[in-house]
Structure 1
Amino acid sequence: MKDKIGSKANPTLLKTPPLTSEYTMHVDEKDGKEILVCTVGKTVLHYDIRCLEDLQQMLKAHGDWMELGSADEQKPAKEGTVEAWGRAENNPVGGWYGLKKGYRGRFGMYIPPLMEALGLAEVTHDAKGNKMRAI
């Protein structure tokens, strides 16, 4: 799966769920661990790579569409959303999948399109209120 994501030299080009902005994602290593590197313009975010498998498992258990609910780290995530799960104390990593302090949010914006590109999930592409479900 991770070999389909791309490298720093050849990252995967993605679009946000509303299809309004482009960004890239690639796999890199930090502190001896593989991470996802998300580049949005000049902003660089890091996510724990295991979020892909963990999120797919959670969505399969959920069994239905789930709202994305993207929010910056400083803002609270709407309950019951992918964003809230991506920072919840009861998820498999016990908190944030985002790894870069100050930029740990937006999990619900940038991870779902990657999962869709990898064939792990379906994502809606409306102007607002997008959802996803596992395949």
Structure 2
Amino acid sequence: MEKRTKDNPWKLQTPPQSSSYEMYIDEKNGVEIIVCTVGKTVLHYDARIVNDLYEMLKKHNDWILLGSKDEKAEAKEGTVEYWGRSKDNPIGGWYGLKKGLRGRVGMYIPPLLEALGLAEVEHNKRNNKMRAI
């Protein structure tokens, strides 16, 4: 994976292309993380999500709904968001690392995979899907 820094982040847009945000790779407590800055809000995701989500998408071999939800809302089964917090994913739970801000995997991670050339993401107003390339 291309390593972007705070000084040279990925500049991305949410799937509906309604909001801009930035992401870069950093390290926290010896673990590689993705730092996602949306306005003044900073979220952290375990960087393993990039390869793990890509592998899941390849196995799924079809479009999958993103299903973005914040941490307190229940994610719909069969969506990227559900997978990103499921006990059945490769890390056995949340890829989001900041308590209270662990959700929104289905909003912020798919455009990163698209920027990396790993996935195709729809850009409708809602109910967007993605698939591996």
TM range, smaller chain: over 0.9
Query: Aligned residue for 1:12?
Result: 10
Letter in 2 for 1:123: V
User: Which runs of no fewer than 5 residues in structure 2 stay unpaired?
Assistant: none
SS at match of 2:25: strand
Give TM-score, length-normalised by structure 2: 0.99
Trace 1:71-110 onto structure 2 (pairs within 5 A).
71-110=69-108
1:117: which partner in 2? 115
Task: Show CA shifts across 1:75-103 (max 9, x none).
Answer: 00011000000000010000000011000
Q: Take 1:57 and 1:11, find their aligned partners in 2: how far apart are those partners?
A: 24
Q: Matches of residues 21-100 of structure 1 in structure 2 within 5 Å?
A: 21-100=19-98
Tell me the matched-pair count.
133
- Residue 2, structure 1, aligned to residue 2, structure 2: yes
Give the whole-Å Cα distance in 2 for the aligned partners of 1:32 and 1:53.
Answer: 19
**Percent identity between the two aligned chains:** 67
**Superposition deviation, residue 9 in structure 1:** 1.2
**Aligned-residue RMSD, C-alpha:** 0.6
Structure 1: gaps spanning 5 or more residues: none
Question: Which of structure 1's runs of 4+ aligned residues deviate more than 3 A?
Answer: none
